[in-house]
Amino acid sequence: MPTVTPPSHESNTPSKNGAKHLLQEMDTLVTEKLNEASAGFDTKSALEIARIINHEDAKVAAAVKKALPEVALVIDQVARCLRDGGRLIYVGAGSSGRIAALDASECPPTYSTSPHSVQYLMAGGPKALASAAEVNEDSQEMGQRDIARRRPTRKDIVIGLTASGRTPYVVSAVQYAKARGAHTAGVTCNYNSALSKVADTTIVAEVGPEVVSGSTRMKAGSAQKMILNMITTGAMTRLGYVYENLMVNVNMKNEKLVERGIRILMQATGVDRAKAIETIKSAGRSIPISVVMLKAGVDKMEAVRRLANSSGNVRLAIEDSRLDL
C-alpha cells in the first residue's frame, strides 16, 4: 500500500487545539452557515415550510450550471475509463455515500453495464446505507483501507463525494487512489476544500446555506444527485449506450422493462409492435442487436459483429464505422 499523507487537520481524535481548528474550519463552510431565508422556520405552517424549501431548492440547478465545464471533463474521463475496461468507483459517506450507491446501482438495469463497471464505497459499509454510521466518515485509515481493497489502477476513475469537501474518509480514499495512478475527481458544495487539493478535477456546486442549518441531505444532496445523473448518463451516452435519446441498452429483467424495450425499438426504428416483438425474439432479447438489425437492414450475426467492432456503440454499429468519442 503506498504511503499517503492525509491533511493534518483531519485526525480522528482531535486534540483541544485540533477541535478548535475544526470549529474554525466548519465556520468557513457555506453549507454550515445559517440561512436567513428560513429564520423562524420552526414557527411556520406546513405550507410556509414547503414554500421556503421549494424556494431554496430552485437555486440548486443554477449552482450546478456553473460547474458544467468540470462536469463535462469528468463525463469524458469516465467514458474513456469504461471504454478501456476500467471502473468508475464512487466514494462517499452519509447522504453523499447513499446518493453514490443509488447512482451506481441504477447503471446495470438502465444500461446493462456490469456491476463491476460502476461501484461505490460507503463509509461504514453497505449497512450504513440504511443505518446511520457517520462516525466512520472521520476515519482516514478506513478510507484508505476500503479503496485499497478495490485495487485502483490507471484504468480507473475514483470520484469522491462530500458536501463539505473535508470528510476524512473520502479525502484519504481519493488521495490513495491518485497515488496508485487512478484518475480522480471530487463533487462538493464548498470551494477551496481539502478534496479539491487531492482530486484531479473538482466539481463544485455552491448551493449556499441549507434551510435547516448543516442538513446537507437537502440542497447539497440534490446538487450531488443531479451531478451524478449527468456523469453516468453523459458517459453512457458517449459510449453509445443511448441511441438518439432512447435507452437502447435497457436490461429487460421484468415485465415493465420488457414493455419498455418493445416501445424503445418501435420508437427507434418506426416498426409496429408485432415486428418489434418478432425482432427482439430473433435478437436474443437484445435491444441493441434489434436496433442495428432493423436500422442497418442486417441479420443478427452481422449486427453482433458490428456491435463488437464498435465496442457496443449502437450508432457506430449502424453506420459500421468508428468515430472518436
Phi, psi angles (nearest 5°) of residue 210? -80, 155
Q: Which residue in the block uniquely carries the three cell numbers 463535462?
A: 72
Q: Which of 58-67, 144-153, 247-256 has the lowest mean pLDDT?
A: 247-256
Predicted pLDDT at 10: 42
The pLDDT > 90 percentage for the chain reads 78
What are the sequence ranges of the domains in the chain?
A: 16-238, 255-319
Return the CATH fold of 255-319: Helicase, Ruva Protein; domain 3 (1.10.8)
The pLDDT > 70 percentage for the chain reads 89
Residue range 12-29: mean pLDDT, rounded: 57
- Nine cell digits for residue 295: 436500422
- The DSSP output letter for 211 is S
What is 16-238's CATH superfamily?
Glucose-6-phosphate isomerase like protein; domain 1 (3.40.50.10490)
- The DSSP output letter for 209 is S
Active site residues: 106, 137
CA-to-CA separations, 89 to 23, 185, 189, 228, in angstroms, rounded: 31, 10, 20, 12
Angstrom distance (rounded) from CA 199 to CA 90: 13
Residue range 64-87: mean pLDDT, rounded: 97
Report whether pLDDT(296) > 70: yes
Report whether pLDDT(105) > 80: yes
Report whether pLDDT(309) > 50: yes
**Which residues neighbour 25 within 8 Å (Cβ) at sequence distance 6 or greater?**
9, 166
Residue range 184-203: mean pLDDT, rounded: 96
- The DSSP output letter for 272 is -
List 252's β-bridge partners, or say none: none
List 92's β-bridge partners, or say none: 122, 161
User: Mapping DSSP to helix (H, G, I), strand (E, B) and coil, where does residue 29 land?
Assistant: coil
Average pLDDT, the chain: 89
The model scores a pTM over 0.75: yes
Residue range 54-80: mean pLDDT, rounded: 97
**Which residues neighbour 55 within 8 Å (Cβ) at sequence distance 6 or greater?**
37
Report whether pLDDT(310) > 60: yes
Q: Which residue has the higher pLDDT, 109 or 25?
A: 109
